[in-house]
Structure 1
Amino acid sequence: MKNYKLVVAITALGLVGASGIGMYQVGISQGMQMSAPATDHTGSPAEKKTNTEGAAPKILYWQDPMMPGQKFDKPGKSPFMDMQLVPVYAGGGEDEGAVTVSSRVTQSLGIRTAQVIKGSLSKSTTVVGNVAYNERDVAQIQARSNGFVERLHARATLDSVRKGGPLVDLYVPDWIAAQEDYLTARRLRGPGSSGLADAARQRMQLVGMNEEHIRSVISSGKVQARMSIVSPIDGVVTELAIREGMTVSMGAPLFRINGLSTVWVNAEIPENLASQVQVGNVVEASTGSLPGTIFHGKVSAILPDVNSATRTLKARIELANPSQQLIPGMFVSVSLASLPRSDVLLVPSEAVIQTGTRSVVMVAQDEGKFFPVEVQTGAEANEQTEIRKGLTAGQKVVTSGQFLLDSEASIKGLATRMEDGDSGEKAAEPVHHASGTVKDISQNNMTVAHEAIPSLAWPAMTMGFALSPQAKPTGISIGTEITFELEAAADGSFQITKLSPKATSPAKSGDNSAHNEHGVAK
């Protein structure tokens, strides 16, 4: 009985196992049918797969995201960084060499543009100068005859005098005798009396009497014992050579009077700005002692003398001083406007990105495309910058948000271009100095574990460099500590242009010929 129950139990277990295996096979079969691609009269599954792959974006080249200027024709490990190369695809509505931004993103970034125009530009330069007397507005007064000083009206230097105002009263004996002879001859009647009067008049002129004094004698008919000498101009007495009671001789200087209707400003012009200042330039001057008051004038001369200590030239500026508010010795701030140049290519100054070694603008085109363009700039004034090379009138440049676009262009490895062609010599690339340890070496390449390079803002890292023809790794092997110089190549990568051992290090064993090789897409 027990054997019978055991047989029945074994049989039941067998049926259950067979049922489970059958259900498993059915499930596998159905799963395979569900996962199998549906076929139709258009082609096989293999053909379908081929068609799908044919629609994938085309890979143009591979690049290192950290060194986008270097292009490779096949995938692999970057020779510069410890990372894999990434593909760059064609298509996407984006032109090679351009940054494309949708209109919605353009508005979000606040990108604004301005047109390149032709106009006139007058550069303004501000310098400092000091006020001085106008040496061309001077009256020098001398004694025209021997005499005595009886009374001084201008008694001290820097006294103000008016034109026609008395300066000094002189007693001149020679004048008295000449006047008496003239009056006597004029009273005579008869033939030849008029000739005697004319001769006596000439004698008054010979003893130093001017026409005003002679007319005074003729009109009064009396001897003028004392004569007043008057000022011929408005100004101040800068030299006083006489005192009351003194005897003066013919030709002796009495007064020097400087006018103040115009003054000179001697402005110090830096040597590098001398070409921007020309005779005839319009000038505006102001001084802290007279806030809000502007004095107008022009450059009258550029003096041929350079101050060896300050390396400045002196420009002589003539300013109108009708109210005589400007006093010699004052310091003034002078704004010099150069002669305007017409037909100059101009862009807003904010559109120009200064990198330190070059100037770049972002040129806007249709469909949201932006190109970085290297330009040659000139003078800058009134928030406008002159463009000497790189742009043409009518183009649009970005004036706001250009730094974001320039950063994107740098990340993509877009090279700037000179749209007028670069006819001049290319500026020398900066040289960067570094040191490190050689990790791998071949004839044209070297991998170096270098220290931080401050001039490039690079941290310490291990990366590969191309060797320029003049950089020969003579006496250098793996493990050698070296000092080297880097320069940027035309494709944006950096190459070693000069290297030398830093210290003698034993070469490590190993196969120096084993490196990763990557082709460069042309």
Structure 2
Amino acid sequence: MERKDFIRKFAIAALLPSVFIAACTESKNKGQKGAGQKTQTYTCPMHPQIVQDKAGTCPICGMDLVPFEKNATEAVLHLDESQMALANISVIAIGAHGMQSFKQLNGRLVVNPESTTFLSSRIAGRLEQLYVRQTGEKIRKGQPLYKIYSEQLASLQQEYLLAIAQAAQFPQDQTFARILKSSRAKLVLYGQSDAQVRQLENSKKTSPYITYNAQAGGTVAELSVSEGQYVSEGSPIMRLEGYHSLWVEADIYAAEAGNIKEGQQVKVVVPGWEDQAQFVKVQFSNPALQQNTQLLQIRGAITNPSDQWQPGLQANIFVPVKQQENVLSLPVDAVIRDGKGSHVWIEQSKGKFEPRLVKTGTESADQVEITQGLQQGERVVVSGAYLLYSEYVLKKGKNPLTGLKMI
């Protein structure tokens, strides 16, 4: 019995070192494996300063965190052809050429008085019926506007029928011919159309009612009467405004007046319709300052396709200031600006893009001068630059300008 216990203890003592060595080796292998394995990190697409080692949501904006490679140090992006097509990436070689700089003025669209029609009563009487009862209604040419009752009109019609009978009875007498012509002219003067006059001639019946039709199309901007109201000759009825042509007005300081001449062309852009810019001639420059200000006013006429713009809309007016030659310039959208500076994206090779710090100079409505950071002939991304910026932040978890220096 004692001999068996001795053999058992001896075997256990002999196996202990092997078990210990195996355990240490396995622990070492696991440590080496863990050290060689990269830890996945996550960041917020909107707040790259948020970095975590597990998935979750951003504590600032609540967006889902996305994985990114924390140890990626190469300051370039690689995109395949499908990604470039989806992001609408387009590239041009930057070159030197002339550049027109502009001064921007804040303006507004107002009603063009040349497209405004004032309607007044041709004859005294009572407004029997109004066919237009509210402002804002669109009126077409020839549309009935109102019907008026007038005893004076009935008298003029009777006078005309009498002149017709006299002229027919004495066809050789020029006096009656002149009376007939004068009687007809009175009816036309008081708003009777040729068709209404012919109807009176055929029916031989007078009527104290006359319907007035619109002589021009437009929008009812003001209605000065109500149905059943008595009006005198010349009383205002309504005001129609046409919006197919508008005035664009802008205020300038007196010291700037010398830079803007009547007949000069300026560029007008209505916010929201940047793709429909128009070049407008300055038709008028007010020689007197506006009351209680140091401002002068300029204006011109702008066409309004499909009446899509309304009076009161803001407009940006770009006045040419000077012409520069041999300037490196890019479209405005190609330059990305943030708190760290301005940068563009350079295409190193097909599908490979890197950010580049630049300094800008004179800027126009659609072009910006590049004074430092680029060389003529370099290929620059002009559309899709903001998507590259976002993709860089998403993949790298940092601002593209981090660590960059001006070339």
Task: Give the counterpart of 1:203 among 149, 161, 183.
Answer: 183
Provide, for residues 230-274 of structure 1, a one-character-per-residue CA deviation record: whole Å limited to 9, x for no partner: 222222222222111111111212122222121011112344543
Q: CA deviation at 1:301?
A: 0.9
Residue 144 of structure 1, CA deviation: 1.9
Alignment correspondent of 1:217: 197
**Structure 2 residue aligned with 1:284:** 267
Is the 1:134–1:263 contact (alpha carbons within 8 Å) kept by the matching residues of 2?
A: yes
Q: How does 1:306-345 map to 2 (within 5 A)?
A: 306=289, 311-337=294-320
Code of the aligned partner of 2:262: V
Q: 1:384 to 1:195 in 2, by over 3 A?
A: farther
Q: How does 1:423-434 map to 2 (within 5 A)?
A: none
Q: Does the CA-based 8 Å contact 2:188-2:194 persist in structure 1?
A: no
Deviations for 1:132-166, whole angstroms, at most 9, x for unmatched residues?
10122222222222111011122122322122222
CA separation in 2, counterparts of 1:150 and 1:215? 21
Residue correspondence of structure 1 range 416-495 to structure 2 within 5 A:
none
Give the counterpart letter for 2:145 in structure 1.
L
Equivalent pair of 2:250/2:298 in contact (CA under 8 Å): yes
Equivalent runs, 1:339-358 vs 2, <5 Å: 346-348=325-327
2:155 corresponds to:
177
Distance 1:290 1:345, change over 3 A: closer
Change (3 A) 1:345 1:134: closer
**Are positions 1:165 and 2:148 aligned together?**
no
2:251 is equivalent to residue 268 of structure 1: yes
The question of whether the paired residues in 2 share the 8 Å contact of 1:148 and 1:245 is answered with yes
- 191 and 232 in structure 1: CA distance in 2 versus 1, 3 angstrom threshold: closer
- Residue number in structure 2 paired with 1:126: 104
CA distance in 1, matches of 2:216, 2:101: 38
Equivalent pairs counted in the alignment come to 242
| Contact 2:163-2:183 within 8 A present in 1 as well | no
Matching residue's letter, 1:191: F
Instruction: Verify: 1:304 aligned to 2:287, yes or no.
Output: yes
Cα distance 1:287–1:383, how it changes in 2: closer, same or farther (>3 A)? closer
CA contact (8 A) 1:307 1:313 kept: yes
Shift of residue 316 of structure 1? 0.9
1:94-133 to structure 2, matched below 5 A, reads: 123-133=101-111
Q: Which AA in structure 2 matches 1:141?
A: L
Deviation of 1:333 (Å): 1.8
Between the aligned partners of 1:172 and 1:250, the Cα distance in structure 2 is: 11
Change (3 A) 1:308 1:348: farther
More helix by share: 2
Aligned pairs for 1:2-17 within 5 A: none
Q: In the alignment, what sits opposite 1:147?
A: 125
Q: Residue 328 of structure 1 aligns to a residue in which SS?
A: coil
| Partner AA of 1:346 in structure 2 | E
1:256 aligns with 239
Instruction: Label 1:309 to 1:185 Cα distance change in 2 as closer, same or farther (>3 A).
Output: closer
Q: State the alpha-carbon separation in 2 of the partners of residues 268 and 123 from structure 1.
A: 20
Aligned-pair RMSD on alpha carbons?
A: 3.7
Q: 1:225 to 1:322 in 2, by over 3 A?
A: farther
Alpha-carbon distance, 1:331 to partner: 1.0
* Shift of residue 283, structure 1, vs aligned partner: 3.4
Report the secondary structure of 2:113's partner residue.
Answer: coil
In 1, the alpha carbon distance for the partners of 2:122 and 2:261 equals 43
**Alignment partner of 1:158: what SS?**
coil
**Cα distance, 1:276 vs structure 2:** 2.6
Q: 2:229 aligns to what?
A: 246
SS in 2 for 1:139: strand
Is structure 2 residue 163 aligned with structure 1 residue 190? Answer: no
* Alignment check: 8 A CA contact 2:156 2:186 kept: no
- 1:235/1:295 CA distance change after superposition, 3 Å: farther
Matched-pair contact (CA < 8 Å) for 1:175–1:204? no
Write out aligned runs for 1:25-104 (5 A): none
- Segments of 5+ residues of structure 2 without an aligned counterpart are 1-94, 330-361, 376-407
1:245 partner amino acid: G
Change (3 A) 1:179 1:328: same
- 1:346–1:272 CA distance, 2 compared to 1 (3 A): farther
Residue in 2 that maps onto 1:229:
212
Superposition deviation, residue 124 in structure 1: 2.6
CA positional deviation for 1:303: 1.5
CA 1:296–1:219 in structure 2 vs 1: closer, same or farther (change >3 Å)?
farther
Q: 1:250–1:212: structure 2 CA closer, same or farther, 3 Å change rule?
A: closer
Structure 1 209/216 Cα, relative in aligned 2: closer, same or farther at 3 Å?
Answer: same
CA shift digits 1:157-191 (9 cap, x unpaired): 23221222222111221111211222233245432
**Letter aligned with residue 196 of structure 1:** F
Task: Check the 8 A contact 1:186/1:194 in 2, yes or no.
Answer: no
Q: How far apart, CA to CA, are the structure 1 residues paired with 2:264 and 2:120?
A: 38
Q: Residue by residue, what CA displacement relative to the aligned partner does 1:309-351 show, whole Å, maximum 9, x if unpaired?
A: 774432112100131111111112223346xx9xx8834379x
Q: Does the aligned pair in 2 maintain the 1:204–1:214 contact within 8 Å?
A: no
Deviations 1:53-79 (A, max 9, x none): xxxxxxxxxxxxxxxxxxxxxxxxxxx
Query: Which residue pairs with 1:442 in the alignment?
Result: none
Q: Alignment partner of 2:310: what SS?
A: coil
Distance 2:160 2:242 in 1: 37
User: Superposed, which structure 2 residues align to 1:354-433 within 5 Å?
Assistant: none
8 Å CA contact 2:122–2:190 kept in 1: the answer is no
Structure 1 pair 303–196 and aligned structure 2 pair: CA distance change class (3 A):
same
